[in-house]
Structure 1
Amino acid sequence: MSHLLLFNKPFNVLCQFTDEPQYKGQRETLADYIQRPGFYAAGRLDRDSEGLLLLTDDGKLQHQIADPKHKQPKTYLVQVEGELTKQAIQQLQQGVELKDGLTQPAKARKMPEPKWLWPRNPPIRERKNIPTSWLELTITEGKNRQVRRMTAAVGFPTLRLIRTRIGDYQLKNLQPGESILLEKS
């Protein structure tokens, strides 16, 4: 019997259990939230991103979730600087040219700010005269910092990034720092 842990990774938490020696005790890691020996992250989520992270005690399951060949769709809520345009949404849907190549087409839609979303600590930087807008984005690749680079490439820098879904697994109502354990047969 293997296990899968759905974890809501808070902002500013490293997606690893130990930090580099020069930072010891200065930055939060997964070890500050998860006390389950033998569990490892199946994929990554940047320190400045929040939301769903899957961890497992099964190497085969970890590989299946994290390996780009399996193309698990990942869905993000993205707060961007500026008022999103239809043209930017269409660019995201068609694929965006980045330095390391063209991204796969994404599912993208503008949306209102989610009512259920927790406040970020610390809050995003806001400029009084520049509005922000929200986007739901689903990708099937995992290029380094891909969502942030995609929104910047279409003219709307990411201010906040929350992963809400990986394949069939959803964040649902887990609050930052909370997790739920599932048994896998």
Structure 2
Amino acid sequence: AVGAMKKAYRLLSIKCHPDKNGNSADSKKAFQFLVSAYERLTKPEQYEEEESSSRRAAPKKISRSNQGCYKTIIHCPRCNMDWGRKELGLEDGAYNWFMMGIREYSCGRCLLSFGCMTARHRCPHCKKDFDYDPKDYHRKIVCGNPKCNRPFGFMLYHVSNKREREVRKEQKALVEQ
């Protein structure tokens, strides 16, 4: 069985080798697939170990939908400057960490440090202020303005698990200082 597999591999590798097929991208890809398939067949225990460890290491993270969600308007409580504009150069996850109460940020105008509880939040529909709590981040809430009264949620930006762990670790170190 092993001898027949080697013979079949050699015949196939000669036929799809990139040198025989004018170095085309398709032949390179086919040859790479053939080599990896042969390695999997000849060393199955090595690949079983890798697959089982990768399954244990990376559990699937369930993400919620952003349907009906907005990046709400956030303002500094002292000078009313809006926070989170693209020109501030914040990374994608900055909104997540701010709204979850993980991080505080400093205002670029008045240098006040503020977090999600002290910031002024505005409804994405009527632009009126509303009270925010980090527990609301993964929920849909209704605007408290009687004229608006429309539901909305808060945008969740995709951030890798690794980056989120780094941010939490950095913040924990800052708090412990």
TM-score (norm 1): 0.22
Specify which structure has the bigger relative contact order, considering alpha-carbon pairs within 8 angstroms and separated by 6 or more residues. 1
Going by fraction, where is strand more abundant, 1 or 2? 1
Going by fraction, where is helix more abundant, 1 or 2? 2
